[in-house]
Structure 1
Amino acid sequence: MSSVWALGLLFFVKSIEIVQSRCSKSQYESGPGYWLKCSNGTIADVSNEEGLSAITMLNSNMKYISANSFIKHRGTLIVLNLQNCEISDVHPLTFSIFPKLKKLSLSHNKLQHLSNSWFADTPNLEQLDFTYNQIETIQTDFFKRIPSLRLLSLDGNHLNCLNPKELEPLGSLAKIRILENPLSLLCRQKVKITF
C-alpha cells in the first residue's frame, strides 16, 4: 500500500513540475528594452518586470485580459504575443493604452468576437494575429481604428463573411489570411474580387 501511495505522490510532484511557470528575459533585438518569454506564466510574472518592449506568454490559463493586465508597460510595449492562453474575453480598453504597440498575437485562444474598442489608441499597430480562435463576428468599424495595419491573420476561425467594405480603411494592408473559415460562396466571390 505504501508503494502505491509513494508512486501517486511521485506522479503528483511530476505533474506540478510540468505546469511550473518558466520565464526568460533577453534584450529586445529590434530596439531598446527587454523581451520576456514565459510558458505557463501568469500576469504576475509580467507585472514584476521592468522595461519590457516585448512580451510572449504561451500555454497560460488567463481566460480574461483586464484593462490593467499589462498597464505597467504602456509606454514601452511594442510586441504582445499571448498564444494558447485560453483567452475568451478581453476588457474593451486593454490594448488601447499601448500607443507604441506594433504586433499583437492572440492566436490559439477562445475569442468569439472582435471589438472595435480594443484599439482606440494604437496608431502604430502593423500586425494582428487572431488565428485559430472561435471568432464568428467582427464589430462594425473594427478596422477604422487601425489604419497602419499591414498584416491581418484570421485563419482557422468561424467567420462566414468578411465584408470588403469594412477593410477599406486599411490602406496599408499588404496581406490578409482568412483560410479555414466557413466563408459563404457569395462572400468568397466578394473577397476574391477585392483582393
Structure 2
Amino acid sequence: MDTLIIVVCLPFLVLQSASLSEHTEISDQSLKHPELCPPCYCENGTAICNSLGLTYIPKFPNGTQNVTFTRNSLKSITERTFSNLSHLNLLVLDLSDNDIRSISPEAFSTLRCLQNLCLRNNIVPITILSESFLGLRNLTSLNLRHMLLRNISSGFFKHLPSLSLEHLDISHNGLKQFNFDSLTKFPDLKILRVGHNPIKILQWKYYNALEEVSLDDCDRQEIPTFCSGNGSFFPKLKKCFFSHNLLSMLNSTFFTCLDTLEVAFLNNNPIRVIDTGTFAYLPNLQEVCMHHLQQLHVLHDYAFNNTNLGILNLRGSHLGVNEIDPNAFAGCYCLHTLDLGYNQFEFMDDYKFNQLFRDLNSLRNLTLTSTELVAVPSVISRVMFRLERLYMNKNKLQSLPKLCFIT
C-alpha cells in the first residue's frame, strides 16, 4: 500500500504529487459586465457563438475583433454571410464545425483586416476551397484541419493574395503525399503542421523562415533528411514534432544540419535503440521529449550527451537496469528537468544509480514516480545540490534518510 508523505522541513523535496492552486487577483477588467449581443456572448472585443444552432452570423458591438462561431450550421458561405461583420476591423474568425459545404470566391472579400481564419471540420470540395481564398490579403494564420483534403497540389494556394502567411495547419486530412512546392509563395511561413496524415511521399523545399514543423502520426519509419546540398532545408528550424510514428532507431544522422533546433518531440515511437551521441551535434538543443517508447531496449553510453540540453522526458518507456548504460546521461551537465517516471528500477541498486546520475549536478526537477523503488538513491543528496522538486510517489519506499540533503 502506497504511503503519501509531505516533508515540510525540506521545501525542495517533494514526495507526493500535489495540486497547488495559486491565489490570483481579480482584475477590474474581469468584473465588467459583458456587452449585449444575444444569443451570443460578447466581452472585451470577443464574440462567442458556440453550439447555438445558428444559420446566420448576428451583429456584434463595435470594437469586436475576435469572432468564434463554431458548431452552428452555415452550410453555404457567400459575401452576404458576413454582412454583419463588414463594419468591423475583424482580426480573428473561427468557423469550425459548421457543416460548410460551399464557399463563394468573394466570400471573404469584405473582411479586409482578417489575419486568422479557422475552417476546421468543414467538408468543402478542394477546388471550391482554393478559389475561396480571394480577398484574404492580410492573412497570417490559416487552419484547414479535418477537411478531407486528400491532395494539395502546387496550385492550391494560387488564389490566396496574402504573402504574409506565418502559420498553416493542414493536419488530419488523409494526405498521402506532400510537396513543399505548394507553399513557395509564402516566404514568411514559420509554423507548419502536416501531422496525422499517412504521408508516404514527402518532398522538402528550402524555407528560410520555417521555425516549427509537425509530422506527428504520419506512419513514417524514419525522420526525413533535413539536409540540402548547401546545408539545411530549414536553417532556422527550432521545433520538430515527430511523435506517434514508426521510428525504430535513433542516431546522430537523423538530426544532421539542424544547428538551430531547440525542441524535439519523439513520443510514442517503437524506438528500440538510442545510439551514442544521438543529440551531441545540436548546439542549441534545450528539450527532448520521448515518453512512452514501448519497445525501448537500449540506451547507449552518451546517448543524450549535450551540454545545452535542459529538459529530458523518458516517462513510461519500460526502462530497467538492463536497458540503460551507466553512462547514458554522461555529459548532460546542464540538465535541469528529468522525468523517468513509470519505468522499472526495482533491481537498480545504489551503485548503478550513482553511475547513472553522477553528472546531473544541475538538476532541479526529478521525477521517479512509480518506478518500484524501495529507497531514495543516495546520489540524490550527494550530487544534486540544486534539486528543488523530487517526485517519488507510487513507489515502495520503506523509509527516508534522516538527512536527505546537506547544504
Report the TM-score range of the alignment, normalised by the length of the smaller protein: 0.7 to 0.9
Query: What amino acid does structure 2 have at the position aligned with 1:133?
Result: C
Q: Does residue 62 of the first structure (1) align with residue 177 of the second (2)? A: no
What is residue 106 of structure 1 aligned with on the other side? 194
Deviates more, 1:122-131 or 1:46-55: 46-55
Note the 1:30-49 alignment, pairs <5 A: 33-38=114-119, 39-42=121-124, 43=126, 44-49=128-133
- Counterpart CA distance in 2 for 1:95 and 1:163 is 30
Instruction: Report the alpha carbon displacement of residue 41 of structure 1 after superposing the two structures with TM.
Output: 3.9
Number of residue equivalences: 173
Q: Does residue 129 of the first structure (1) align with residue 210 of the second (2)? A: no
Q: Percent identity?
A: 19
Note the 1:154-193 alignment, pairs <5 A: 154-187=242-275, 190-191=278-279, 192-193=303-304
- Structure 1 portions without partners, runs of 5+: 1-16
Instruction: Report the alpha carbon displacement of residue 140 of structure 1 after superposing the two structures with TM.
Output: 3.4
Q: Does residue 83 of the first structure (1) align with residue 171 of the second (2)? A: yes
Q: Does residue 119 of the first structure (1) align with residue 205 of the second (2)? A: yes
Query: What amino acid does structure 1 have at the position aligned with 2:122?
Result: N
Q: Is the 8 A contact 1:57 1:81 kept in 2?
A: yes
Q: With the length of structure 1 as denominator, give the TM-score of the two structures.
A: 0.73
What is residue 140 of structure 2 aligned with on the other side? 53
- SS of the residue 1:94 aligns to: helix
Larger Rg: 2
Q: Does residue 97 of the first structure (1) align with residue 208 of the second (2)? A: no
- Counterpart CA distance in 1 for 2:148 and 2:252 is 35
Match of 2:91 among 23, 27, 34: 27
Deviations 1:38-95 (A, max 9, x none): 1224443353132222110121111111111123336121110012111111235123
Q: Which has the higher helix share?
A: 1
What is residue 299 of structure 2 aligned with on the other side? none
- Counterpart CA distance in 2 for 1:151 and 1:141 is 13
Deviations 1:85-136 (A, max 9, x none): 1111123512333211000001222113543xx332x211011111122112
What is residue 140 of structure 1 aligned with on the other side? 225
Tell which has more relative contact order, 1 or 2 (C-alpha 8 A, sep 6+).
1
Q: Is the 8 A contact 1:21 1:40 kept in 2?
A: no
CA spacing shift, 1:92–1:104, aligned 2, 3 Å = closer
CA spacing shift, 1:173–1:92, aligned 2, 3 Å = closer
- SS of the residue 2:140 aligns to: strand
Q: Is the 8 A contact 2:251 2:274 kept in 1?
A: no
Q: Is the 8 A contact 2:195 2:218 kept in 1?
A: yes
Query: What amino acid does structure 2 have at the position aligned with 1:40?
Result: N
CA spacing shift, 1:189–1:70, aligned 2, 3 Å = same
- SS of the residue 1:104 aligns to: strand
- Counterpart CA distance in 1 for 2:189 and 2:181 is 14
- SS of the residue 2:154 aligns to: coil
- SS of the residue 2:181 aligns to: coil
Instruction: Report the alpha carbon displacement of residue 188 of structure 1 after superposing the two structures with TM.
Output: 8.1
CA RMSD of aligned residues (A): 3.2
- Counterpart CA distance in 1 for 2:186 and 2:144 is 17
Instruction: Report the alpha carbon displacement of residue 153 of structure 1 after superposing the two structures with TM.
Output: 0.3
CA spacing shift, 1:183–1:85, aligned 2, 3 Å = same
What is residue 361 of structure 2 aligned with on the other side? none
Q: Is the 8 A contact 2:250 2:273 kept in 1?
A: no
Instruction: Report the alpha carbon displacement of residue 167 of structure 1 after superposing the two structures with TM.
Output: 2.0
Instruction: Report the alpha carbon displacement of residue 176 of structure 1 after superposing the two structures with TM.
Output: 0.4
- SS of the residue 2:249 aligns to: coil
- Structure 2 portions without partners, runs of 5+: 1-71, 94-112, 280-302, 307-407
